[in-house]
Amino acid sequence: MCFRPAATVTIVKCLECGTFNKPTDETCKKCGTDLTASRKAAEDAIAATAPAPSEISLTPQGLDDAPKAPGAPKAPAAPKAPGAPKN
């Protein structure tokens, strides 16, 4: 299976011994430490790297009143190709 959601813990590293465990494991397979804290740390790490959708502003503000950037050149008109056949 290739499909993998973007923000999903796929592996949990034991905070005690560093062993990688499946996120479905309750305890470390090596040392038996409860992986709840480790799983939480992994989720926090993902949350820290993934962009929060709430940060995206969907409301344009003052686009009509915004002054044009000074010195911004207008888009040059495309020169007509000489001899180009019209349709």
Binding segment toward Zn ion, per CB under 5 A, in 9-17, 36-44, 51-59, 77-85:
9-17
What is the spatial distance between Cα 12 and Cα 35, in angstroms, rounded to a whole number? 8
**Per-residue DSSP letter, 54:** G
Question: Closest separation between CB of residue 12 and Zn ion, Å?
Answer: 10
Q: How far apart are CA 46 and CA 52, in angstroms?
A: 11
Contacts of Zn ion in 14-43 (CB under 5 A): 14, 16-17, 19, 28, 30-31, 33
Q: How many residues does the chain have?
A: 87
Contacts of Zn ion in 44-73 (CB under 5 A): none
Residues in contact with Zn ion by CB under 5 A are 14, 16-17, 19, 28, 30-31, 33
